[in-house]
Amino acid sequence: MAVGPSGRADRTRAGAGRGNAIRPPSDRHATGLAAAGDWILVGDVRLDARTDVSRALGLSPDEAALQSDEQIFALALAKWGTDAPARLNGGFGVIAWDRWAEIAMQITPDNTRLLVYKSIWTEALPVSGWWGFGAGTFQITFPFFCHHVGDEIKGIWRYAHEDYLQTILEWGWVGASLWAVLIFGGLARGANLRAPATSLPTEVLSAALLENAAFLSLTGICLHALIDCPFQIASLALYATVCLALLWTRNRLPASPPVSP
């Protein structure tokens, strides 16, 4: 939704940059970011009659004094929706969008990432076969398998934004299986999470807590890899490697203090 000083609101396809924001001449208010309820806005707002607006929004004088004009505008959007600009007086130029509507609009069969995933599964994987095209080849091989969707998939796709599909495409089913043993085997070794006894020596207690943290961290990365490409990012891949090393060697750490003769 793009809103200008006239108070007219035009709902556009939700998202920043969709629509023209008109910034009023104002030196007293800097462009800001605000959020309330399902709404996020960015822009420059100068409200008149703040007291009346704050009262209508159910804010006490003390609460209203702590809110910027942008935040009060966001609260008005949360309460009145796209009717808010017509109920406010002042000068404002903002771009606002409903954060959850943006998600709902993306979950459709025409979503670009879903089209990419489908193209890999139905077009590319049958060709890449058991051995794949080779590590790091996704960017140069994928364009050959998305012509059937025309211009629905635009731009240069360096990664598939689904690490498991990209791994199968580049390493083949054989290589992807070996990676699965390495990664999910480490997770299996660390799956028996338990709270370490506080009576253990400090070094043993610290090691147990570190193992548990490594398991949770690697689990998060693996879940993230379903919808993005964390394993393609060098820093995240390094962290994942360290977590795997901790999990694969966990049985080598002492489980209890040595008994003195």
- Note down pLDDT in tens along the chain; length 261 residues: 555 444 444 443 333 333 333 333 344 344 577 777 778 888 888 888 888 999 999 999 899 888 888 889 989 988 898 888 888 888 888 887 776 776 666 777 778 899 999 999 999 999 999 999 999 999 999 999 998 888 888 888 999 999 999 999 999 999 999 999 999 999 998 887 666 666 667 777 788 888 889 999 999 999 999 999 999 999 999 999 999 999 998 765 454 555 555
Query: For position 127, what pLDDT does the model report?
Result: 96
3-state class of 206 per DSSP? helix
Q: Nearest Cα to 29, choosing from 92, 98, 123?
A: 92
Query: For position 20, what pLDDT does the model report?
Result: 34
Q: Is the pTM of this model over 0.85?
A: no
What 31-34 contacts at long range (C-beta under 8 Å, 24+ apart), as own/partner pairs, is 32/68, 32/70, 33/70, 34/68, 34/70, 34/71, 34/73, 34/74
Contact 169, 125 (CB under 8 A): yes
Query: For position 21, what pLDDT does the model report?
Result: 37
Contact 181, 140 (CB under 8 A): no
- Cα distances from 231 to residues 54, 146, 161, 223, in angstroms, run 48, 23, 10, 11
Query: For position 260, what pLDDT does the model report?
Result: 53
CA distance 121 to 248: 31
H/E stretch holding 218: helix 202-224
Query: For position 110, what pLDDT does the model report?
Result: 79
CA distance 135 to 109: 29
Contact 243, 214 (CB under 8 A): yes
User: What region does 161 belong to: left with phi over 0, alpha with psi -120 to 50, or beta?
Assistant: left
Q: How many other CB atoms are there within 10 angstroms of residue 54's CB atom?
A: 20
Sign of CA dihedral 130, 133, 137, 142: negative
CA distance 75 to 48: 15
Query: For position 18, what pLDDT does the model report?
Result: 32
